[in-house]
Structure 1
Amino acid sequence: MSDPEPTRTTFENVDPTLSLDDQKRLVVDSGRRRHLSWGMDFDSRALSLDPHIPDHWEEQVKELHRQNLQAARVGMIEEFGERGIDAKIDNFVAIGVKPFSVLAHHNALFHQVRQAFVIGAYYPALVGACALGERILNHLMLDMRGHFTATPEYKKVYRKDSFDDWRLPIDTLEAWGILLPDAVVEYRALMGLRHRSIHFNPETTNALREEALAAIIHVRKIIEQQFASHALRPWFIANTLGHAFIRKDYESHPYVRAYFLPNCPFVGPLFGMAPGKGGWEFFDLADYGDGDWTDDEFAAAYNDRDPALVAGPPG
Structure 2
Amino acid sequence: MLTDEIDPEWETDVIALHEENRRNVRMGLIHQFGNEHHEQKITDYSALGAAPWSVVDRHNLFMQQIRDSFAFGAYYPALVGACALGERILNELVIRLRSAYGSHPATADVATQGSFSNWSLCIGALFKWGVLDDPLATQFNDLRKLRNRSVHYGTHLTDSNGRLDALHAVLLIQQTVEALFKPHGGPPRFIPGTTGHTFYSLRAESDPFTSEFMLPASILVSPNFEMTYNAERGQFDVFDDDTYHEEFPELTDEEFADHRRLPRRSMHGRLGEGT
If the length of structure 2 is used for normalisation, what is the TM-score? Answer: 0.89
- The C-alpha deviation readout for 1:96-126, integer Å capped at 9, x for no partner, is 1012211243111111000000000000000
State how 1:273-292 maps to structure 2 within 5 Å. 273-276=227-230, 277-278=232-233, 279-288=235-244, 289-292=247-250
- The C-alpha deviation readout for 1:145-204, integer Å capped at 9, x for no partner, is 111110111111112222212111101101101123321121111111111011111212
Q: Flag the 1:182–1:239 CA change in 2: closer, same or farther, 3 A.
A: farther
In structure 2, the partner of 1:195 is 148
Q: Aligned partners of 1:220, 1:128: CA distance in 2, in Å? A: 12
Mapped contact 2:70–2:78 kept (Cα < 8 A):
yes
In structure 2, the partner of 1:295 is 253
CA RMSD of aligned residues (A): 2.0
Mapped contact 2:242–2:268 kept (Cα < 8 A):
no
Identity fraction in percent = 36
In structure 2, the partner of 1:132 is 85
Q: Aligned partners of 2:187, 2:44: CA distance in 1, in Å? A: 30
Moved more, 127-136 or 56-65: 56-65
1:311 CA drift (Å): 4.9
1:219 CA drift (Å): 0.4
In structure 1, the partner of 2:214 is 260
Q: Aligned partners of 2:263, 2:113: CA distance in 1, in Å? A: 53
State how 1:55-204 maps to structure 2 within 5 Å. 55-204=8-157
1:56 CA drift (Å): 2.9
- The C-alpha deviation readout for 1:6-60, integer Å capped at 9, x for no partner, is xxxxxxxxxxxxxxxxxxxxxxxxxxxxxxxxxxxxxxxxxx2126212233333
1:310 CA drift (Å): 7.2
Q: Aligned partners of 1:111, 1:226: CA distance in 2, in Å? A: 17
Higher relative contact order (CA 8 A, sep 6+): 1
Which SS does the other structure have where 1:105 is aligned? helix
Q: Structure 1: where are the runs of 5+ without partners?
A: 1-47
If the length of structure 1 is used for normalisation, what is the TM-score? Answer: 0.79
- Size of the aligned set, in residue pairs, is 265
Which SS does the other structure have where 1:282 is aligned? strand
Q: Aligned partners of 2:166, 2:238: CA distance in 1, in Å? A: 39
Q: Aligned partners of 2:203, 2:139: CA distance in 1, in Å? A: 27
Q: Structure 2: where are the runs of 5+ without partners?
A: 271-275
From 171, 176, 192, give the equivalent of 1:217. 171
